[in-house]
Structure 1
Amino acid sequence: MFDSRHIKTFHEVVRTGSYSAAARALGYTQPAITQQMKALEREVGSPLFIRAGRGLRLSEAGEALSRHAAAILGSMSAAQEQIHALTRLRAGRVRVCAFPSAHTTIVPETMARLAARHPGVRVDLLDDEPPESLQRLVRGECDITLAFTYPGLHEYVPDELVEIPLLEDQLTVLLPAGHPLARRRTVQLTDVAQERWIAGCLRCRANLLHECAEQGFAPEIAFTTDDGLALQAMVAEGLGVAMVPALVLNFLCHPRVTGRPLQPASRRKVFAYVLREHLRIPATALVLEELKTVAANKSGC
């Protein structure tokens, strides 16, 4: 393995044509240049220069090393600049895995803030729901995961992950615009106990069953869909009522659907997760800070 200082000195000797000229250019003494070149020749195992009168010419080994020296120094310079950029938060690649309603609310605003303040930070997006999204983080497929949990659902969080609270998302009952309860400011689950229901994703359905059981009834689930737009379209057509987090209504609200906050209030909790050691990576830490800032502005929706 060559010493990078020796390669730099060798390159300067070749460029200037002599040890003394290289010493002046680098700010070294000539004996120091001589010692470095002797050390490099020991590493190479062959002389690099041949005396030609008062000048120097390259040996065969010196010619071979000279052809690579500029490329070696260029690669080192590029590596130093890239590392400097990463440590100064000017560049970096962060993979973020999030669930759909986060991808359409929290994540775009975070990316806009990053683009304006730190354009060198690149964010790659992945789409997945918990608990699979947490496993993708553990497997190294992403750097940050956004996930959620509902009251009564106990989430297993692997020990190697750090859980960072982002926001609490108010649950809302969706009704057809002409529904009698649409005139109220809030809705209790017992008010819609006899309605047919349209349920969402597996985790949302589990929470619906839990919330209704807490109020002493089992909902009649007529339809299920993971598609938020389809769910609202079904509510608009009077096929049933639904319960969704308010975050969904920040980006998607059917004109013939009205949402009323659930009373007593119930909220899902949204977290960011990251491997503990990744908190020390500047670009990852920066993305987390921007996510927390954006999420704080959405709290209480």
Structure 2
Amino acid sequence: MDAPDPRRPGRIPGLDVAALRDLILGVDTGSITRAAAAAGVSQPAMSARMTQLEAEVGRRLLERGPRGVEATAVGLELYRGAQQVVRQVDRLAEQLGAGSREIHGSVSVGLPATVAGTLVPALLPLVAERHPGVRLELFESMSGYIQELLGRGRLDLAVLFRDDPSPRPGELAVYDEPLLLATAASVDASTEPVRVRDLRERALVAPGERSNLRALVDRAFAEHGLAPRVVADVESLTAMVRLVQGGAVSAVLTRSAAAHYAGPELALRPVVEPLLRRTVSVCVAAEFYEPRLAVLAVRDAVVDAVHALADRDAWPGITLLDRRPPD
């Protein structure tokens, strides 16, 4: 079969949902082989499916290379639309199959590493108890990547960091927390507040510039006409903590994030002038589709799990915003 002509006007024939699911897998995994494994078919079968889909559309959707596949501009556009179609089909199937009103279905949830360690052990049993027909798909990463996946419609639900608790479509502010300067206690055991301008010479490690945490730190320094002395961009919370424990660098972290790691003790100091705090919100991809019942159920469980942890002092440093989803 001839390759689709990228100059040829595209068509939208009667594409079936299975073909759209294949495309989503191909883009998400970046590999025909991994997409085939996820779909439970052979690599040649998945490759043939992709070729057939491109022939149906009349445009090249994936660029093949030695390192895998990457969506073309047309492929990415169809991928975004496919996310909406597949979610809506799943929602309809859920509604048609819910004669008993039991909520069921898979819900993909993105969690920043600084949240997952505390929230997940409470969230899993709560969802299992309330909604045994709901299966969670949990994805943990740095906050910037989580937000990107939610924005692409790859996740149903995400816990994200915000600068303030202002209402936003599809979001519910749950709690806020202070950000603290973390330093190896063997180097500096002080727990007294430290001013931002006094940190201008301090060697710091921080997430990359897509991170909400990095944006907050950069803005705080900019208020004094300064820039933080970030000696390394580190996209792993574990690596950040280990580097700080080594004593050569400091980092801006939350109390709960630092508490999850064994090893040398860390000294935690509030950062002031300006005071650094961030809001944590639970978000749905409202711009892609109306959330399914299972997604809303998991959102409610996230809020309730956070409240339960705070009520028994199991999440140090957070302040509940006491906002609940509308009925």
The interval holding the TM-score normalised by the smaller chain is 0.5 to 0.7
Q: Give the partner amino acid of 1:271.
A: S
Describe the SS at the equivalent of 1:88.
coil
Give aligned-pair identity as a percent: 22
Alignment partner of 2:194 out of 184, 187, 191: 187
| Distance in 1 (alpha carbons) for counterparts of 2:230 and 2:253 | 14
User: Is the partner of 1:278 in helix, strand or coil?
Assistant: coil
In structure 2, distance between residues paired with 1:141 and 1:225: 24
- 2:297 matched to which residue of 1? 286
- Contact 1:149 1:268 (8 Å CA) reproduced: yes
Equivalent AA in structure 2 for residue 195 of structure 1: R
- Determine the structure 1 residue equivalent to 2:170: 162
Per mean C-alpha deviation after superposition, the further-off stretch among 262-271 and 250-259 is 250-259
Is 1:137 equivalent to 2:150 in the alignment? yes
SS at match of 1:84: coil
Matches within 5 A, 1:59-70: none
In 2, the alpha carbon distance for the partners of 1:124 and 1:197 equals 34
Distance 1:149 1:113, change over 3 A: same
Structure with max Cα Rg:
1
Give me the whole-angstrom Cα distance separating, in 1, the residues matched to 2:132 and 2:176: 30
> What is the aligned partner in structure 2 of residue 101 from structure 1?
114
More helix by share: 1
Structure 1 residue 227 and structure 2 residue 236: aligned?
yes
So what's the TM-score if we normalise by structure 2?
0.56
1:80–1:137 CA distance, 2 compared to 1 (3 A): closer
Q: 1:233-272 counterparts in 2 under 5 A?
A: 233-252=242-261, 254-264=263-273, 265-272=275-282
* Matched-pair contact (CA < 8 Å) for 1:96–1:144: yes
Once the two structures are superposed, residues 160-204 of structure 1 have per-residue CA deviations (whole angstroms, 9 ceiling, x without a partner) of x51111221210101121334x33333222333322222223323
Distance in 2 (CA, whole Å) between partners of 1:104 and 1:226 is 16
Identify which of 168, 174, 186 aligns with 1:178.
Answer: 186
CA gap of 1:95–1:209, structure 2 versus 1, over 3 A, is: same
Write the distance in 1 (CA, Å) between the matches of 2:262 and 2:196.
Answer: 21
Q: TM-score, normalised by structure 1?
A: 0.60
Residue segments in structure 2 that go unaligned for 5+ positions in a row: 1-93, 321-327
Query: Is the Cα–Cα contact under 8 Å of residues 170 and 284 in structure 2 kept in the other structure?
Result: yes
Cα RMSD of the aligned pairs, angstroms, is 3.0
Given the superposition, is the C-alpha separation of residues 190 and 135 from structure 1 closer, same or farther in structure 2, using an over 3 Å criterion? Answer: closer
User: Does the Cα contact within 8 Å between 1:98 and 1:133 map onto a contact in 2?
Assistant: yes
1:144 and 1:255, CA in 2 relative to 1: closer, same or farther beyond 3 A?
same
Change (3 A) 1:278 1:251: farther
Q: Distance in 2 between matches of 1:172 and 1:130?
A: 18
The yes-or-no answer on 1:196 pairing with 2:196 is no
| Contact 2:108-2:138 at 8 Å conserved across structures | yes
Corresponding residue for residue 42 of structure 1 = none
